[in-house]
């Protein structure tokens, strides 16, 4: 019987008809050699999601057995929903796909607001994040809103890519929880369009961007000190933002702090996360995770990142998988307080 099974397997391999189980057990170098992998980018060209994804794509192939090439494919749409659904439902589940995922998706899933994404965030095989960075709210230097206190006195327009984006969700949370008076203007599609809106005077600031991302997306404005960062979302302050208040420090009660901690973990602990498809064999997930970790220490990647003025502060895939699970499984009483504070209806979904 064993000889018969081995003979059948040999015939299938010879015919190019290997089963998923047999293919999964193939030598990684044999599988990846000459392979043209895809890097599915959840945003359009020009923003930080695109920048980090292309940087990773240029270097990670050297650390994958067989040295495959990675081809970047921009797939913008609905703040990352289009790309997430493609990778979860359509893309091959063989380890030939890497994608970046919107950082807020685990938080939205925990709140029951991710119905349009057709998979559990825990099902993605997380490879790691290039840069865990605080989210910041920044205002144009000519705006009367130059501090969090000013935002409670003056109404201000802030731009965001889409209603589902972190840039729209967080300012609304600030209004409810902190008493600010932001009005969010959405529909710009990508962060680059928000930058143009600020330059044209259509809005006075941006609802949210990662601090290291802001220094890439809005490099000229940051260099010229044309933006004032008035609030940061993180467990600790960024080293170069020592005077900008943290969201969690604005809590007045333990109940408020639980809400603000959830928003902080959901928006600042994930950074720019990368994953491969659900259902990829564990052996290949392990190969890609090792490759990701090695790439984060690669002198060539680090030199290019320094030249591009972007920061690398990685979290490995095992830790990221745990962080995502922790966010998604936040206790229901805390989620109920979050929803009550944000005015989210129980049945509301994205």
Token representation of residue 77: 């749409």
pLDDT, residue 322, reads 94
Structure tokens at 314: 């990685």
Over 36-81, what HEC string results? EEEEEECCCCCCHHHHHHHHHHHHHHHHCCCCCEEEEEECCCHHHH
Residue 214, helix vs strand vs coil: helix
Where is pLDDT greater, at 166 or 227? 227
Residue range 279-334, pLDDT digits in tens? 999 999 999 999 999 999 999 999 999 999 888 989 999 999 999 999 999 999 88
Of the listed ranges 151-165, 237-251, 296-310, the one predicted with least confidence: 151-165
Q: How far apart are CA 166 and CA 161, in angstroms?
A: 9
Query: What pLDDT is stored for residue 4 in this prediction?
Result: 43
Q: Up-side HSE of residue 29: CA atoms within 13 Å toward CB?
A: 2
Any residues with CB less than 8 A from the CB of 69 and at least 6 apart, and which?
35, 36, 37, 61
The pLDDT value recorded for residue 25 is 57
By three-state DSSP, how is residue 247 classified? helix
- pLDDT tens-digit series, residues 199-217: 999 999 999 988 988 887 8
Quote the pLDDT of residue 153.
96
Domains recognised in the chain with CATH numbers: 27-132+269-339 (3.40.190.150), 135-268 (3.40.190.10)
In the predicted model, is pLDDT for residue 93 greater than 50?
Answer: yes
d(Cα 105, Cα 113) in Å, to the nearest integer? Answer: 9
What proportions of the chain, in percent to the nearest 5, are helix, strand and coil? Answer: 45, 15, 35
Asked if pLDDT for residue 16 goes beyond 50, the answer is no
Give the residue-averaged pLDDT of 26-49. 91
């Amino acid at each position: 019987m064993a000889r018969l099974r081995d003979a059948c397997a040999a015939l299938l391999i010879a015919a190019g008809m290997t089963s998923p189980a047999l293919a999964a057990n193939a030598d990684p170098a044999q599988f990846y050699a000459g392979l043209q992998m895809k890097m599915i980018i959840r945003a359009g060209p020009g923003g930080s999601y695109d920048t980090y994804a292309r940087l990773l794509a240029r270097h990670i192939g050297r650390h994958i057995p067989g040295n495959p090439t990675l081809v970047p494919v921009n797939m913008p749409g609905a703040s990352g929903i289009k790309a997430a659904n493609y990778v979860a439902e359509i893309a091959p589940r063989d380890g030939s796909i890497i994608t970046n995922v919107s950082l807020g998706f685990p938080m939205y899933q925990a709140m029951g607001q991710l119905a349009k994404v057709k998979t559990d965030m825990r099902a993605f095989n997380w490879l790691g994040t290039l840069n865990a960075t605080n989210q910041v709210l920044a205002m144009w230097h000519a705006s009367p809103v130059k501090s969090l206190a000013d935002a409670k006195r003056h109404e201000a327009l802030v731009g965001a890519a889409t209603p589902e984006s972190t840039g729209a969700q967080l300012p609304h949370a600030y209004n409810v929880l902190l008493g600010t008076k932001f009005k969010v203007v959405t529909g710009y599609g990508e962060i680059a369009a928000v930058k143009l809106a600020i330059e044209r005077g259509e809005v006075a600031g941006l609802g949210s961007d990662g601090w290291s991302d802001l220094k890439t997306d809005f490099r000229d404005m940051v260099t010229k000190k044309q933006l004032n960062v008035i609030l940061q979302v993180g467990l600790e302050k960024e080293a170069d933002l020592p005077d900008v208040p943290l969201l969690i420090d604005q809590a007045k009660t333990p109940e408020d702090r639980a809400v603000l901690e959830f928003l902080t973990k959901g928006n600042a602990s994930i950074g720019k996360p990368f994953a491969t498809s659900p259902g990829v064999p564990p052996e290949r997930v392990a190969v890609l995770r090792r490759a990701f970790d090695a790439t984060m220490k690669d002198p060539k990647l680090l030199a290019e990142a320094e030249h591009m003025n972007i920061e690398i502060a990685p979290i490995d895939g095992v830790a990221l998988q745990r962080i995502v699970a922790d966010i998604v499984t936040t206790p229901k009483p805390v989620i109920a307080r979050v929803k009550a504070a944000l005015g989210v209806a129980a049945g509301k979904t994205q």
